[in-house]
């Protein structure tokens, strides 16, 4: 079952951030900062991380500590589905997708079928500040 993101979705600990992008590093950095402010360790993952990012990032989930079992996915369509399969193989238990439209129904359905707790929404609406939290309030994010 897919639920709306809430402030209690992620537990303290590590969160893999799949799709941490150099094209929108400001937005990604804001999400990273908000999650860290809520007590999480954010582990950016970008397969093209070598050259473009200012923030250190792993090139794959395999480079992250095995104890990492939560993920935020900022990937679209087939890439989101492929990431979901890998998250499942690695035993991830919680996955937050940026939006239903971006991730696509196949990734959302597959994550649920793999037994993951699934939520959808921008983490800034739950963990951010100011206008983002206000937007979350208007959207019913608790």
Return the CATH number of the domain spanning residue range 2-138: 3.40.50.720
Q: Where are the domains of the chain?
A: 2-138
How would you write the pLDDT of the chain (142 residues) with one tens digit per residue?
556 676 778 888 999 999 988 778 888 899 999 999 999 999 999 887 655 667 788 899 999 999 999 999 999 999 999 999 999 999 999 999 987 778 899 999 999 999 999 998 888 877 766 554 434 444 444 5
Nearest Cα to Cα of residue 119 among 71, 87, 58: 71
Q: How far apart are CA 98 and CA 74, in angstroms?
A: 6
> Are the CB atoms for 48 and 57 separated by under 8 Å?
no
DSSP state letter for 58 = B
Q: How far apart are CA 132 and CA 138, in angstroms?
A: 10
């Amino acid at each position: 079952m897919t639920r709306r993101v809430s402030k209690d979705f992620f537990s303290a600990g590590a969160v893999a951030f799949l799709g941490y992008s150099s094209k929108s590093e400001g937005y990604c950095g804001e999400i990273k900062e908000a999650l860290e402010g809520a007590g999480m360790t954010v582990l950016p993952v970008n397969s093209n991380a070598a050259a473009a990012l200012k923030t250190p990032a792993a090139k794959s989930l395999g480079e992250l500590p095995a104890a990492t079992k939560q993920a935020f996915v900022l990937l679209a369509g087939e890439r989101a589905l492929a990431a979901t399969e890998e998250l499942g193989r690695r035993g991830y238990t919680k996955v937050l997708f940026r939006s239903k439209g971006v991730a696509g129904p196949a990734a959302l359905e597959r994550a649920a079928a793999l037994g993951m707790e699934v939520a959808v929404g921008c983490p800034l609406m739950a963990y951010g500040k100011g206008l983002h939290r206000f937007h979350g309030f208007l959207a019913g994010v608790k």
